[in-house]
Amino acid sequence: MDPISVYVGNSGTTARFLLGLLAFTNPSRIRGGSRQVLLHGTSRMHERPIGDLVDALRVGLSTLVVGGTPTLEYIGREGCLPIRITLAPSMTFKDGGVEEVVRLSVNSTQSSQFQSSLLLATPSLLHRAGEGVRVVVEGGSEVGEGGTPTVVSGGYIHMSAHMLGQFGAVSYTHLTLPTKRIV
């Protein structure tokens, strides 16, 4: 069966947010029953970096899932769209009980949208994982003042987390993100 084509045009925001959501999508929810999705855009979008987000999703999935892991495969240039996502009809999650904490960590020094993508994907992940799993989304990698990691546009990450909390999708209690200063 051919992959479902998701064309994002020139919208990096759409590509980044959809990638996280698609990685945890159950294919039974996709019309036609295809297990593959091709996420792509304009030729310019195929030059823009998305590798840090893909790496974070791969590590997060390998940490949490023991069977039926979705795959994320670059079709062209490494680290950029297009990406073929092969969905997993049934994921077997590690059984860690109430204390299981999954850390999804992404380098957010290029774009706050990487971290927002993981935040937006968290409700889908939790829905598939069930009770007893807690997801902690972390960002930053460059060290700023005082040895603290920095992120780009941290306010947008706060806004994403707050919005999800308002809808009851995640427990939003505290988020501290030192941001880069533009001089």
pLDDT top residue among 57 and 122: 57
Q: Please tell me the distance from the alpha carbon of residue 78 to that of residue 81, in angstroms, as a whole number.
A: 8
- Give the mean pLDDT of 110-118: 81
pLDDT top residue among 169 and 36: 36
Say what the pLDDT of residue 170 is. 62
